[in-house]
């Protein structure tokens, strides 16, 4: 079964030039994503789209 699609908005990270993307609560809960987990970001361009791919490389729990 395909994963559910979620729409998120980039927001300015207070005090820096970085942007934040919010992980929806339902996704964080169902995938057991916790504060402090570390992700690798791979940036790809496919056709006319920008794809940001995150891979968890460290979990703070379990």
pLDDT tens per residue across span 8-54: 999 999 899 999 999 999 999 999 999 999 999 999 999 999 999 99
Q: What is the pTM of this model?
A: 0.79
pLDDT-derived band at 62, boundaries 50, 70, 90: low
Q: Is 30 helix (H, G, I), strand (E, B) or coil?
A: helix
Cβ-in-10-Å burial (0-12, 13-18, 19+) of 36 comes to: exposed
Q: Where are the domains of the chain?
A: 10-58
* CATH match of 10-58 with 2.10.260: yes
CA-nearest of 36, 40, 41, 32 to 57 is: 40
């Amino acid at each position: 079964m395909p994963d559910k699609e979620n729409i998120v908005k980039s927001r300015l990270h207070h005090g820096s030039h970085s942007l934040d993307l919010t992980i929806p609560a339902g996704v964080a809960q169902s995938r057991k994503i916790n504060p402090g987990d570390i992700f690798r970001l791979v940036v790809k361009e496919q056709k006319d789209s920008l794809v940001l791919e995150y891979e968890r490389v460290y979990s703070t729990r379990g």
